[in-house]
Amino acid sequence: MQNTLLITGGAGFIGSNFILEWFNKELESATTIVNVDALTYAGNLMNLLELAHHPLYRFEHADICEAEKMSALFEQYQPRAVVHFAAETHVDRSIVGPEAFLRTNVQGTFTLLQAAMKYWKALPAADRGLFRFLHVSTDEVYGSLGPEDPPFSETTPFQPNSPYSASKAASDHFVRSYYHTYGLPTLTTNCSNNYGPYHFPEKLIPLMIANALDEKPLPIYGDGKNVRDWLYVKDHCSAIRRVLAEGIVGETYNIGGCNELTNLQVVHTLCNILNTLAPRKRGSYEELITFVKDRPGHDRRYAINATKIERELGWKPAETFETGIRKTVQWYLDNRTWTDKVRNGSYRQWEALNYGQRA
């Protein structure tokens, strides 16, 4: 076994932040990072440009559904751990085209588990106890909360409501079963909504920033009172590093920011910051807010009880929503070419499809 992490989906939003943060924070570990990514519309090697010639970084253009390729990568790199981010992640896309979610999130995770297990079983006994398969999942598997319900804990029953969350729930169950049935040393994290640099502008926060700067409508689904618990992406990355280092195999850990906000509160906050940092020629950004047709099956509220990871692994977020969102808006203002480049032809098609039907 080598001092190597095999990261799937490392060219996406959280994966690329994780890899960049790893080289910032864990340099002394001299770990090699192998980024395995199919480069779907959501994957972007621009995010990792600064690592292109880093001696401890490798990129492998591969699809996690390809069994032989996955086995070959395990053989080649002999990783000490897998951190599995690769997924289809956008709820609205899962409503329009659920097949891709079944394929990557369920079939892909299964394929990766099979390849990991074959590799793990052949390891020397001493290494077998050290290997880890860390599966990155979402709080959306738990379903939707009422206004007075307690936040999701690790024992909250799964009640996924969208094809996205159903596919992630299925993948979580497969990971769990590989620990219980075969003893594969797995770890699972279920995290709330992330925000920060490199967030693809199909999701609420980067979409609202990009639209505002383009003087386009800010489309709020339904009444805008759906609640999400927002976590700055670098805090998610530090939580994953903690779980990888200290987590108990077979366990799941909820990760959250304790920042419950309605979508309208989030969008007003963004408008306020933009009004100061990049004022419009005339008027305020709030004037662009537009209510549009709701998302079918729209989960009302997510909230995370993150006391287990805090108590057992000593993790806490470093950013509040106020500090994290300021950094995020500033990043998008400083990196407008990044947003312009990722909003290519296929993005425009998606925009027309998703928002055209909500007019």
User: Which residues are tagged catalytic?
Assistant: 139-140, 164
H runs (alpha helix) in 283-335: 307-313, 321-334
Q: Do the Cβ atoms of 147 and 301 come closer than 8 Å?
A: yes
Residue number, 8 or 144, with CB nearest to ligand NAD: 8
- Give the range of 13-21, 69-77, 304-312, 342-350 binding ligand NAD by CB under 6 A: 13-21
Interface characters, 107-146, with ligand NAD (x: CB under 6 A): -x---------------------------xxx--------
Specify the residue for token string 């689904």. Answer: 221
Burial 308-324 (b: 16+ CB within 10 A, else e): bbeeebebebebebeeb
Q: How far is the CB of 190 from ligand NAD (least distance, A)?
A: 7
Residue number, 119 or 200, with CB nearest to ligand TYD: 200
69/200 Cα distance (integer angstroms) = 27
Regarding 339 and contact with ligand NAD (CB under 6 A), the answer is no
Q: Which residue is nearest to ligand NAD (CB)?
A: 12
Q: Strand, helix or coil at 190?
A: strand
Regarding 166 and contact with ligand TYD (CB under 6 A), the answer is no
128/67 Cα distance (integer angstroms) = 21
Residue number, 138 or 259, with CB nearest to ligand NAD: 138
Strand partners, 194: 231
Binds 151, which of ligand TYD, ligand NAD, none (CB < 5 to 8 A, cut-off by type)?
Answer: none
- Give the range of 87-95, 122-130, 204-212, 308-316 binding ligand NAD by CB under 6 A: 87-95
Regarding 226 and contact with ligand TYD (CB under 6 A), the answer is yes
Sequence-separated (6 or more) residues with CB below 8 Å from residue 35: 7, 10, 11, 15, 19, 48, 57, 58, 59, 60
Regarding 91 and contact with ligand TYD (CB under 6 A), the answer is yes
Q: Which tokens belong to 254?
A: 């909820």
Residue number, 4 or 263, with CB nearest to ligand TYD: 263
Q: How far is the CB of 15 from ligand TYD (least distance, A)?
A: 17
| Binding residues with ligand TYD: total (CB under 6 A) | 12
Among 5, 13, 196, 332, binds ligand NAD (CB under 6 A): 13
Strand order in the sheet with 193-195: 193-195, 227-232, 260-262
If you compute the radius of gyration of the chain from its CA atoms, what whole number of angstroms results? 20
Q: How far is the CB of 219 from ligand TYD (least distance, A)?
A: 5
Regarding 219 and contact with ligand TYD (CB under 6 A), the answer is yes
